[in-house]
Structure 1
Amino acid sequence: MAVFCKTSRIWRARLAATGAGVTVVMLACAPAWAAGGAAVPAGRAAAATPVPAVAPPVPETVEVNGIRRAFTHVAAQHLPDADTRVTAERLIERGVVDLRGLEYVAPNLTIQSINGTASTNFYLRGLGFNDFTQNNMGPVVTYVDDVAFPYSTMASGLMFDMADVTVTPGPVGTEHGQSTTGGEVKLRTNDPTDTFHYGASQDIAAYARSRSTAYISGPIADGLSFRLAGQVNQGGGWQTDPLNGAHLGDANSWALRAKLKWTPDSRTTVMLSGHVVRDESQVVGGIPISRLIGSAPIPSVGWTQTEWSAKEAFTKLIGRQNGLKPSEDNWFWGADLHIAHDFGPVTLTAVSAFETEREGEYTDQDATAAAQADAYRTIAANNFTQELRLANSRAGDRLQWVVGAYYQRSRMSQNFYFDYTDYRPARGYMQVSSFGLNQEATSQFGHVSYRLPRHVTLFVGLLHEVDDRGLTGLTSRIYGGRTLDFHGESTAAAQFAGQAGVSWQATRNVLLYYKMSKGFKPGGFTANNTQVQGQLAPFMPETVLTYELGLKSDPIANVLRINAAAFYNDFHNQQILGTILLPDYGPLSQLTNVPKSESWGFEGTIDLHPVRHLFITQNIGWQRGIFQNFPTVNRAKTNAYYARTGVWKAINDNFAGVDNGQPKLTLNGQLDWRQAVSHDYAVEFGPNWVYRGAQAMTPGGTGFYRLPPYFLLGAHVTLRPASDRWQVTVYASNIMNRHYYTSGGQATTTYLYIPGAPRFIGGRISCGF
């Protein structure tokens, strides 16, 4: 028997989310961490799993048939997948406040900012591509509350008031949403509550960084409830310009989310949601690593320094104020409607969503005070999706199934402005490239599973998708010079994807599974800095056949959990950022296809609770891949030839047998010690860590074309009362103040790295009622 303090609705809700086995009694004045064995102190959420019935309440005593769980997501241990599921509390502990931070809590996941901006590229199990223009669908799709965001930038600023996050590796699309080859990242935010709740948090850290969040939730009328949540981010800029001491990197953003939930009867739920994000944050500037063109030395800058420039003529051209710093000027807003009705044997779900993006983004892509690759881009985009799903309502049936259809339509226009006025004698001008994108896709999907005797389950899924997209109205204009007009390009694809597998619940706590999945992703276009029509040739669709063998186990209940999966990917026409060379102009990046490639590896999570107060989580990811056939321009050799001769000549290579360059080893984990310090208070503390292996930023890249590996260490200490109504945390990230780089790239004259943040020490106080 365990005894807990009956003072908090939050704590009582967490008790309800426990497994079966032992009666738990709550008394009015007992301390919340008085449980023995595998008990978790106040505030440690148990797994959100189905629970047995709760006995009728009696005065001052509530009985719950359950045992405190050391590990979360107990029900998911019986699902045949390699998903990483992360609670909202773990996200807060690790300081994960944006998409990029998810790589600190999941294996084999890399999320990189593009030139230090809010735009991101995903790599999951090594599968992803670097798309600066962000007008193509990535191999890893972000979902927010069951709504797919095909362009990752649209999901910026939405990670607040979170419920949980799920990272799913491998091909998906036979059960919901968009078909992909690499997987998906699903964000789930908190829903309205039937009782009144409110709360807030304030996080203050080094470099004047401030993060504020608040929410209020409760009933409006019978069957009608609401939730309103918001966040404000300010400061935190840690870079300076050594030439003039100017400051760079401060956040300046706010966001609001509103949800309205209506349950007209016990079988129907209607949820209307809306959000708006305003982001005027400064971006992280690059550090030049090598000069590729010219003989002038690259700037010598310190770890927290960077150079930039924005000439008055350029800011006037783009309609911005003189003295512009590298920064965002973004609006994101959208709304979605979820309707679910249980007809008895089946449940019908409809999800409608409309998302809008208005982006203005200035970056200094040569990372010097010279105007050799200053860039400003504007994006106006909208995306509409409609999904219908019909599924079996009876969870206990041997036969489980879901069928559905998905529709997506997007419209986008972009302008890319470049200032090359100091890039002489090659260019010496300002330029703008403009284009539009029209895209439409439809898919039909179905998934069936059947439970055989002896705890064996067979499952199969099928998807058919048609995607049609066209590039329109592309022009490239040199101010004071020529204007090039290009004819439109289009590409269409129609393919099948699917999945088949078997799972075996060998024992109550051990699940084995094997599955084969075929993934499909449509083709697209490279559309920035276009000089010749050939640059607009569409790249082809990507397909992958994935074989996966997995294990989920709790060999020692509430003490040890081991989940692991091994995979092999067989790619055809894998999409990747390659290189082309334009005579008398130079090398340019272009999305292209690798005719044949492969990758393999494994990932796993170990949760350990060896003694009463100690909890350890370790994620491990390892992958390796090679290009089996990949003829393309060798960018490193081409740049080296120009440096020797002053002549642009394409040095072609076939990278057959060359490593795909993705980080081979990724590690991240956390250790927590949870201890009562008095009758009324508990403390928890411990370190966290992350390691990421080297990454080649160009095919076959070596030397400075390979991003160095890094290891980071953080820690936190949290004090909370028995009521669990507030908590105070002191934390530190990058304790050792390691110098590391998160991404890299080349614009024109220099090759640069984007540095990671230095040591941050901060504090956070939060409350909830």
Structure 2
Amino acid sequence: MGGSRYLLLFSASAIALANCAMTSPAAAQDGQPGGAIVSNTDTNDAASAEIVEIIVTAQKRSERLRDVPMSVTAATAETLASRGINSSEDLGKLVPGFSFQKTQFGLPVFFLRGVGFSDTALTASPAVTVYTDQVPLPYLPMARGAVLDIERVEVLKGPQGTLFGQNSTGGAINYIAAKPTDYLAAGTTLTVGRFSQVDAEAFVSGPITDTLSARIAVRHEYQGDWQRNRFNGDESGAKDFINGRLIVDWRPSERATFSLQASAWKDRSNSQQPQFVGYEPKDTSPLARPVDPQVLTYSTSPDNARIAGWTPGKDYRQNNRLHQFALSGQIDISDTVRLSSITSYGHYDAHGLQDIDSLVEDYIAVTIGGTIRNFSQELRLSGDLGDRVKWMIGGSYQDDKINERVLFAPDIDSSTHVGPFTFDSFGLLNDQKIKTKGGFGSLDYELTDTISLQASARYSDQKRRFQGCSADLLGTGEFTSAFSLGFFRDLNAFPPGSCVLVSSTTGMPLPGGSKSNLNEDNVPWRAGISWKPSSATTLYANITKGYKAGSYPTLPTAFDNQLNPVPQELVLAYEAGGKLSLLDRAVDLEFAGFYYDYRDKQLQGLVSAPPFGNLPALVSIAKSRIAGAEANLTLNPVQGFRITVGGTYLNTKILQDPVNPTEPFGNVGTFVGETFPYTSTWQGVVDAEYRFHTSANASVFLGATVNGRTGTKGVLYTNATPAISQFERQYDIPGYALLDLRAGIELDREHLRLEAWGRNVMNKFYLVNTVRGSDYSSRFTGMPTTYGLTLRWRYDAR
């Protein structure tokens, strides 16, 4: 029934736009999700420094990157390929201030300028949102296949709630897919590398009729096992990922363009296995469940990225998949007004097994499963008033349905008991229905020939319905019996297969689980001024208020108030910066300074969740702040040589302790003065490339990329008790620097390219995250040295 409703809305959008197309006059400029984006106007010499003019749609209209009065990092598909960026997780090689973490359940988390949202829940709304052609991928696991046959990527830093909606307090990542061409074009890319890696990608594009064109792209990624079990020598880590996209463009007239996009991917890769760090029981009371003495004999895994630990004989392959459909259209209603619509529907399924204890014994394993169904609709009008005013007004609607199931089986640790009654398995339920409505507008006014004012705002109203609990997912009755007898001395208090939850107000059992609503609204806004003393210089200052939606935890609980949500967070961001081109584009400089004033920031801390002990969970920090600066310098000192240096400095601090959740924190103390988790003080990227001709039809290139960051931590903890410092150090994430190298040759005006490459060529051991799963601490490592060859061929009939 729900799918039929979405199909009707999808069709209605197409019909409405088509009707407008039959009666509309001529053209207005708007931010189309495609079109020509790179103009090699500065040079036609393939061996010279690659100076390109990138056209972006960061403000939902087409404009030069260096004219956009905000901090944006943009790069072409060629730049991404040369730096080995095949997924969003790799963007740290390009974007200073971007970082990626992996939760204990293996879910991705993105941070920009220290702003992100780390939670184990599939239902977690991110603080950095991802789009493909402005079509939302509202939950980060859905973004796995976004880097396929793209034209460019735009990374917008700072709150983006006015044009891209809430849940973008950190920023937004927009991938622009390569579009169908009006001529025949085709290409293939083949990569072979270490660990039996074989990646193959191909596309075909061209006209079908005079008004219809299409482009289809497919990619398959394969890699053999790269991890070894320290206990028995087994191997794991294989990758098996297939991805595809079809785009059909229809141009019924010069005034109208429609694009239908269908994409799908399937991931059957193995879950990455974490390394064992240490054992520390959550429950140290006299009634604590006894530990297997064998656990106490294990030492921390060696500092070798390939060495991990897991229980053999289990299937650790994921079964995650996504299919999404999107219809977009642009109609020129008049010479100065354009109507745009974007309608999309996506369905994501997840299933995977993760070893939590990182040991050969079968103590704790987690099966993560769930579905996400997402429908979104945006409709907007944009245009010009004279030569000095650009305006936009629109509305949006999003409907999400999420069903999450997390099964702990087995789960044998110190806290899996209620008094003397033990249990070996249980599950978590988190079902949410989320409806978000919004209206937005923007206005740009050229006060003079060089000074412009910008303003934008959005009203968002979100209604979130939640139902969840800890539950007897296996239906054995062991979990429910332990709580029935331990809490009520009544074996039938919780029937087998039911939720296990106790009312914090009445003390009575709630076998149906917790049901509640979180209804929030907000008005993010942005005001700015920019000055262009010349065509090569832009200086700007912005004040932005942004919001991120509240969230319900996926957390083992016994009492309903442990499932209370954290409220929406609010940030007031101040930023000033500039973009300069000097010495005839021999020097390009971008810089910005910023200050974020936070209220109710959502961070991951440790919360007491009896009888399960202290658990990582969301806390709402009453007051905190981020101060920082960033710069990106591109030099073209001589013909053929280019070097780019980018860096970000962050200073984060908690200014006031949390006021929720209602349960006491696991460690007595204060958070005041502590820094944010996953926030390095310094991050930097350096990339250099030299190109030279060997003949009239061939050029050789040599390149290197270094990206690094200082250390941080994987959890928010108090600063008052020295006795827990050794425990806290288990969550440290040391700093690191990684070196990538590349060399190759291009023939026939870049239609044929052969590249040899190496990633992390110094085989630096580094950590992606440190986590705690029950009594066990573990860590996810980055990849060891990889190397290989990539052959790329392109053809077009022009």
TM-score category by the smaller chain?
0.7 to 0.9
Which region of structure 1 is more displaced relative to structure 2, 467-476 or 225-234? Answer: 467-476
1:551-630 alignment runs, 5 A limit: 551-630=578-657
Residue 786 (structure 2) aligns with: 760
Q: How many Å separate the matches in 2 of 1:720 and 1:621?
A: 33
Matched, 1:330 2:325: no
Deviation by residue 1:35-86 (Cα, 9 ceiling, x = unmatched): xxxx34xxx5832459xxxxxxxxxxxxxxxxxxxxxx99211110101111
Residue 22 (structure 2) aligns with: none
Residue 93 (structure 1) aligns with: 82
Offset, 1:305: 1.4
Closer/same/farther in 2, CA of residues 120 and 33 from structure 1, 3 Å limit = closer
Deviation by residue 1:645-673 (Cα, 9 ceiling, x = unmatched): xxx99422221122224111111121000
Closer/same/farther in 2, CA of residues 114 and 487 from structure 1, 3 Å limit = closer
Residue 493 (structure 1) aligns with: 520
Offset, 1:473: 5.1
Matched, 1:158 2:185: no
Matched, 1:419 2:419: no
Offset, 1:580: 1.3
Residue 683 (structure 2) aligns with: 666
Counterpart selection for 2:463 from 461, 468, 473: 468
Q: How many Å separate the matches in 1 of 2:210 and 2:411?
A: 65
Residue 746 (structure 2) aligns with: 720
* AA aligned opposite 1:733: R
Is the CA contact (8 Å cut-off) linking 1:147 and 1:351 kept in structure 2?
Answer: yes
Counterpart selection for 1:710 from 725, 736, 748: 736
Offset, 1:584: 4.1
Which region of structure 1 is more displaced relative to structure 2, 487-496 or 543-552? Answer: 487-496
Is the CA contact (8 Å cut-off) linking 1:87 and 1:163 kept in structure 2?
Answer: yes
Offset, 1:134: 2.5
Partner of 2:438, secondary structure, is strand
Q: How many Å separate the matches in 1 of 2:242 and 2:777?
A: 33
Residue 695 (structure 1) aligns with: 712
Closer/same/farther in 2, CA of residues 652 and 406 from structure 1, 3 Å limit = same
* AA aligned opposite 2:372: A
1:290-305 alignment runs, 5 A limit: 290-293=278-281, 296-299=296-299, 301-302=301-302, 303=304, 304-305=306-307
* AA aligned opposite 2:92: E
Partner of 1:175, secondary structure, is helix
Is the CA contact (8 Å cut-off) linking 2:193 and 2:786 kept in structure 1?
Answer: yes
1:186-335 alignment runs, 5 A limit: 186-293=174-281, 296-299=296-299, 301-302=301-302, 303=304, 304-309=306-311, 323-335=313-325
Is the CA contact (8 Å cut-off) linking 1:490 and 1:538 kept in structure 2?
Answer: no
Closer/same/farther in 2, CA of residues 179 and 360 from structure 1, 3 Å limit = closer
Closer/same/farther in 2, CA of residues 502 and 493 from structure 1, 3 Å limit = same
TM-score, normalised on structure 1?
0.86
Q: How many Å separate the matches in 1 of 2:343 and 2:157?
A: 25
* AA aligned opposite 1:332: L
Q: How many Å separate the matches in 2 of 1:580 and 1:48?
A: 47
Is the CA contact (8 Å cut-off) linking 1:401 and 1:448 kept in structure 2?
Answer: yes
Residue 359 (structure 1) aligns with: 350
Q: How many Å separate the matches in 2 of 1:237 and 1:619?
A: 34
Q: How many Å separate the matches in 2 of 1:87 and 1:15?
A: 9
Offset, 1:583: 3.6
* AA aligned opposite 2:409: D
Q: How many Å separate the matches in 2 of 1:421 and 1:399?
A: 62
Which region of structure 1 is more displaced relative to structure 2, 152-161 or 527-536? Answer: 527-536
Offset, 1:423: 2.5
Closer/same/farther in 2, CA of residues 653 and 125 from structure 1, 3 Å limit = same
Residue 70 (structure 1) aligns with: none
Q: How many Å separate the matches in 2 of 1:15 and 1:550?
A: 24
Offset, 1:14: 9.6
* AA aligned opposite 2:370: I
Residue 330 (structure 2) aligns with: 340
Offset, 1:176: 4.4
* AA aligned opposite 2:434: Q
Partner of 1:764, secondary structure, is strand
Offset, 1:600: 0.7
Which region of structure 1 is more displaced relative to structure 2, 731-740 or 169-178? Answer: 169-178
Partner of 2:159, secondary structure, is coil
TM-score, normalised on structure 2?
0.83
Is the CA contact (8 Å cut-off) linking 2:571 and 2:596 kept in structure 1?
Answer: yes
Offset, 1:19: 3.5
Q: How many Å separate the matches in 2 of 1:338 and 1:583?
A: 50
Closer/same/farther in 2, CA of residues 500 and 443 from structure 1, 3 Å limit = same
Residue 288 (structure 2) aligns with: none
Q: Which runs of 5+ in 2 are unaligned?
A: 1-34, 57-61, 282-290, 418-422, 481-497, 501-510, 719-727
Matched, 1:451 2:446: yes
Matched, 1:542 2:572: no
Residue 53 (structure 2) aligns with: 47
Offset, 1:506: 2.0
Is the CA contact (8 Å cut-off) linking 1:115 and 1:284 kept in structure 2?
Answer: no
Offset, 1:623: 0.7
* AA aligned opposite 2:308: T
Is the CA contact (8 Å cut-off) linking 1:497 and 1:517 kept in structure 2?
Answer: yes
Residue 507 (structure 1) aligns with: 534
Q: How many Å separate the matches in 1 of 2:533 and 2:38?
A: 28
Offset, 1:177: 4.7
Q: How many Å separate the matches in 2 of 1:651 and 1:114?
A: 22
Offset, 1:389: 1.1
Closer/same/farther in 2, CA of residues 82 and 16 from structure 1, 3 Å limit = closer
* AA aligned opposite 1:740: Y
Residue 381 (structure 1) aligns with: 372
Residue 5 (structure 1) aligns with: none
Counterpart selection for 1:684 from 701, 710, 727: 701
Offset, 1:236: 4.3
RMSD between aligned residues: 2.4
Q: How many Å separate the matches in 2 of 1:610 and 1:708?
A: 35
Offset, 1:147: 0.7
Q: How many Å separate the matches in 1 of 2:398 and 2:740?
A: 41
Q: How many Å separate the matches in 1 of 2:769 and 2:660?
A: 21
Closer/same/farther in 2, CA of residues 454 and 649 from structure 1, 3 Å limit = closer
Closer/same/farther in 2, CA of residues 218 and 669 from structure 1, 3 Å limit = same
Q: How many Å separate the matches in 2 of 1:718 and 1:112?
A: 32
Offset, 1:104: 1.4
Is the CA contact (8 Å cut-off) linking 1:631 and 1:652 kept in structure 2?
Answer: no
Q: How many Å separate the matches in 2 of 1:628 and 1:176?
A: 29
Identity between Structure 1 and Structure 2 (%): 23
Residue 391 (structure 1) aligns with: 382
Residue 400 (structure 1) aligns with: 390
Residue 653 (structure 1) aligns with: 669
Residue 118 (structure 2) aligns with: 130
* AA aligned opposite 2:188: A
Deviation by residue 1:591-621 (Cα, 9 ceiling, x = unmatched): 1210000111011110000111210011111
* AA aligned opposite 1:659: T
Q: How many Å separate the matches in 2 of 1:740 and 1:173?
A: 34
1:58-69 alignment runs, 5 A limit: none
Offset, 1:18: 3.3
* AA aligned opposite 2:357: D
Residue 432 (structure 2) aligns with: 437
Is the CA contact (8 Å cut-off) linking 1:349 and 1:389 kept in structure 2?
Answer: yes
Offset, 1:371: 2.8
Offset, 1:575: 0.8
Partner of 1:576, secondary structure, is strand
Offset, 1:735: 0.8
Residue 743 (structure 1) aligns with: 769
- Number of residue pairs matched by the alignment: 693
Partner of 1:137, secondary structure, is coil
Is the CA contact (8 Å cut-off) linking 1:14 and 1:46 kept in structure 2?
Answer: no
Is the CA contact (8 Å cut-off) linking 2:188 and 2:203 kept in structure 1?
Answer: yes
Residue 508 (structure 2) aligns with: none
Is the CA contact (8 Å cut-off) linking 1:175 and 1:403 kept in structure 2?
Answer: no
